[in-house]
Amino acid sequence: MTEPLIYELSRPGRCAATLPDLDVPRAELPEGLVREDLPLPEVSEPDVVRHYTHLSQMNYGVDTGFYPLGSCTMKYNPKINEEMARLPGFVHLHPYQDEETAQGALCLMYHLQEFLKEIGGFAGVSLQPAAGAHGELTGVLMMRAYHLDRGDAGRDVILVPDSAHGTNPATTSMSGLRVVEIPSDERGNVDRGALEAACREHSGHLVGMMLTNPNTLGLFDEHLEEVTGLVYQYGGLMYGDGANMNALLGIARLGDLGFDVLHYNLHKTFSTPHGGGGPGSGPVGASVRLADFLPGPVVAIDRERSSDEGDFYTFVDLPKSIGRVKSFYGHFGILVRAYTYIRMLGAAGLRRVSEYAVLNANYLMSRIKGTYRVPYERICMHEFVCEGRFADAPDVRALDVAKRLIDYGYHPPTNYFPLIVHEALMIEPTETESKETLDGFAEALLHIADEARTAPALLHEAPHRAPVRRLDEVRAAKDLILRWQPKQQ
């Protein structure tokens, strides 16, 4: 099933939009600066609608079915969030309008800051970063700035576990710092011996450690307080990657566990939609000693302009801020969705989210671990990793299992991450899936394990029932075609 490109549907003279006539005198156009042609499509509105409708029908979203991508938290995206984000009083607000005209929006941002502080256990929050990786860059720059502010120059090492998401070391390089990788032990925790050795070796150079907890194996570090204690002992700070916070709402606060700075992923934990690759939102929480370094501006209550009638909200900059990390204030449209979600759940609802996220993951793991090897014999958190390979079907790899799941109507789990597990399949069901869905998925996986032995070709050539068959990625990288171009005459 293919759909022509919008350019292939184009016919000269068509225009889908209607615009008003010019109602003022024409001015002279600037000489030498006007373009001669604009090679954009020419299509009618029905063409546009059919085209994008067909494209949507080739896509699979959470609204279509189960989407167990590990560390992505593909939970249900509530429709009320979409409605609230579209309220005219939010949609039509220009960011530079006088604050007195934006008090509703500012009130929402202020209270979201407060909610996130409470949920994470932090003294300050900035809503400005646009995504998780953006929040990571913010946090690492804040840690760096903290040391420089204390006159402690020469610290340039960040410790990162070998199970870390690629954004962690990439962020470290972007901040002008060096990565030192710390191995995991056989139970999936940070190897404390290796950590201590690294701290000693880089003593005096340590900026801090970036830690995802629960980690990318879905495991809560059994010695977390020892790990953070060691880093503090050598003068370092702790950065928390909040990607896996879906296991911790109302269960534990990373601020209470000694993290100095953390990013939240609103598009994971707080139900805002993934959008086919964004927009997300990555607010950052900071402890007392790092709160002054947050990017901004952030929203505060202006006591002088407040009255008995209500608080007046205003933007302020933090005194030692690392500076702005993006234009304007953050992804406001996404903040509205997260605010709505938190208001619908309350404290009890949030705790239930994490309880059932963890229950679902452990249940699914119990159903398949006999057939798909789970390398760590432990209770998992909201996700788990298993191996997509079979001793008696050596030609079958995780990729084949993943593609065959598509034929069963499921989106595959994350493949080949984390790097420390062979043929990894990282599975995160989330709390919004029912037991029936989990049972169906487990059954499909068990079927596929059988097929791996009896009919492996079915897996190697999968998917059979998707809009396209397996795609040639080598050719895409070699013959780089990154845009449509008209055929040469």
Partner 1 sequence: MPYVPHSDEDRKTMLAAIGVRSVEELFEDIPAHVRFPELNLPPALSEMEVRWELEMLAGADFTTADGPCFLGAGAYHHFVPAVVDAFLRRGEFYTAYTPYQPEISQGTLQAIFEYQTMICALTGMEASNASHYDGATATAEAVITAINVHRLKRRKVVVSPYVHPEYRAVVRTYTQGMGLTVVGDENSGSAVLTDLLDDETACLIVQYPDFLGRIEDLGPLAEAAHAVGALLVVVADPIALGLLKSPGQFGADVVVGDGQGMGAGLNFGGPYLGFFATRMEYVRKMAGRLVGQTVDTEGQRGFVLTLSTREQHIRREKATSNICTNQGLVALAAAIYMATLGRCGMRRVAELCYHKAHYARQRIGAINGFSVVDEADDGRTPVRYIRPFFKEFVVHCPRPVKEINDYLLHEWEIIGGYDLGRDYPHLQGHMLLCVTEMNPREEIDMLVEALEEVAS
Partner 2 sequence: MKLDPVARYARSHEWARQDGNEIVCGITDHAQESLSDVVYVELPEVGDTFDKEDTFGVVESVKAASDLYIPVGGEISAVNEALEDTPELVNQDPYGKGWMVRLRPSDPAEFDDLMDGAAYEAFVAEES
Residue 300, strand partner residues: 314
- Per DSSP, 175 falls in state T
Binding mask 256-285 for partner 2 (x = CB under 8 A): ------------------------------
Interaction of residue 303 with partner 1, rule CB under 8 A:
no
| By CB under 8 A, residue 487 contacts partner 1 | no
The answer to the question of residue 36 lying near partner 2 (CB under 8 A) is no
- Kindly tell me which of 95 and 166 has the beta carbon lying closer to partner 2: 166
How many angstroms separate the CA atoms of 259 and 213, rounded? 10
Task: Tell me 286's DSSP state.
Answer: E
Per rule CB under 8 A, is residue 201 in the interface with partner 1? no
> Rounded CA gap, 152 and 185, in Å?
32
Examine residue 474 and tell whether it contacts partner 2 (CB under 8 A): yes
Size of the site for partner 1 (CB under 8 A): 200
Rounded least distance, CB 479 to partner 2, Å: 9
> Of these, 477, 485, 487, 489, which contacts partner 2 (CB under 8 A)?
477
Q: Which residue has the tokens 């995504």?
A: 131
Q: Chain-centre distance of CA 258, in angstroms?
A: 23
148 C-beta neighbours (distance < 10 Å), count: 13
Please report how close the Cβ of residue 184 comes to partner 1 at its closest, in angstroms: 15
Handedness of CA 358, 364, 366, 369 (dihedral sign): negative
For the CB of residue 481, give the shortest distance to partner 2 in the complex, in Å.
13
Which option in partner 2, partner 1, none does residue 330 bind, with CB closer than 5 to 8 A by kind?
Answer: partner 1
Stretch in the footprint of partner 2 (CB under 8 A) among 119-127, 158-166, 379-387, 468-476: 468-476
The window from 112-120, 230-238, 420-428, 446-454 that contacts partner 1 (CB under 8 A) reads 112-120
C-beta of 162: minimal distance to partner 1 in Å?
11
CB 244 within 8 A of CB 69: no
How far apart are alpha carbons 88 and 104 in whole angstroms?
12
Pick the stretch among 30-38, 196-204, 233-241, 388-396 that binds partner 1 (CB under 8 A): 30-38
Using the rule CB under 8 A, which residue among 288, 316, 455, 476 binds partner 1?
476
Name the nearest CA neighbour of 320 among 442, 458, 148, 443. Answer: 148
Stretch in the footprint of partner 2 (CB under 8 A) among 51-59, 144-152, 218-226, 474-482: 474-482
- Nearest approach, Cβ of 392 to partner 1 (angstroms)? 26
- Spatial separation of the C-alpha atoms in residues 400 and 457, rounded to whole Å: 9
Q: How far apart are CA 88 and CA 422, in angstroms?
A: 50
Q: Using the rule CB under 8 A, is 69 a contact of partner 1?
A: yes
354 within 8 A of 247, measured Cβ to Cβ:
yes
Three-class SS of residue 152?
coil
Structure tokens of 259? 């993290």
Among 151, 153, 154, 276, contact with partner 1 (rule: CB under 8 A): 276
Which residue's structure tokens are 């933090």?
318
C-beta separation of 245 from 265 below 8 A: yes
376 scored as a contact of partner 1 (CB under 8 A)? no
- Per CB under 8 A, does 471 bind partner 2? no
Site residues for partner 2 per CB under 8 A: 473-474, 476-478
